[in-house]
Amino acid sequence: MGESTNVYASTHPGGASQEAADAAITDDFELAGVPDSFQRLWTPYRMAYIKAGQDQVKDEESCPFCAGPTRSDEDSLIIHRGKTAYVILNLFPYNPGHLLICPYRHVPDYTDITAEETAEMAALAQKSMRVLRHVSRPTGFNLGMNQGVTGGAGIAAHLHQHVVPRWAGDGNFFPIIAETKAIPATLGDIRLDLAAGWAELD
């Protein structure tokens, strides 16, 4: 036994008998690996995305942004359906209320959309900001489009614009050091709040 156990046994009444009892019920089986200071957040649901990568979206039939509008708003986490584009919650949000503005058409590049689609996507991004301010009072936003695989697009085959609400302190040590985001509400609840907020501002 280690030194700390011997010290305990010699300085605490009954320590030796407890040591013997522990030894009697402890086998010598040990799992591989060395303990460290890191916490593990197990996310097995992401494995399908990780294994498939960019190759998971080969055409409109395999594109989640094309499939989304064919299902109910609740199932697809859609906040609003416009004429040429719609607003949907990001399934892997950076912050609560992280929205995506997507054209219905399956096009990859910002230069591929029409003037009408461009105008509606811009209007929906503005409305998304207003709704988020109304519902959750963020103090800032990040808006952007990642174009192409090398540009960082998670799904490069279907254009989408990010609207990310920001609050002071949301870039703390947890996401920066642990590369983990804590989302304090379910996506379903967030969708309900934002959809209600959208209706109120209409």
Catalytic residue numbers read: 160
How many other CB atoms are there within 10 angstroms of residue 158's CB atom?
21
Q: Which two tokens stand for residue 56?
A: 């998971």
Q: Helix or strand or coil: residue 163?
A: strand
Interatomic CA distance for residues 87 and 80, integer angstroms: 5
Could you give the angle at the alpha carbon of 179 between the alpha carbons of 174 and 185, nearest 5°? 65
**By CB neighbour count within 10 A (0-12 exposed, 13-18 middle, 19+ buried), where does 49 fall?**
middle
C-alpha distances in angstroms, 103 versus 13, 50, 56, 92? 73, 25, 19, 19
Alpha-carbon span 195 to 202, nearest angstrom: 11
Residue 112 structure tokens: 């591929």
Name the β-bridge partners of 142: 164
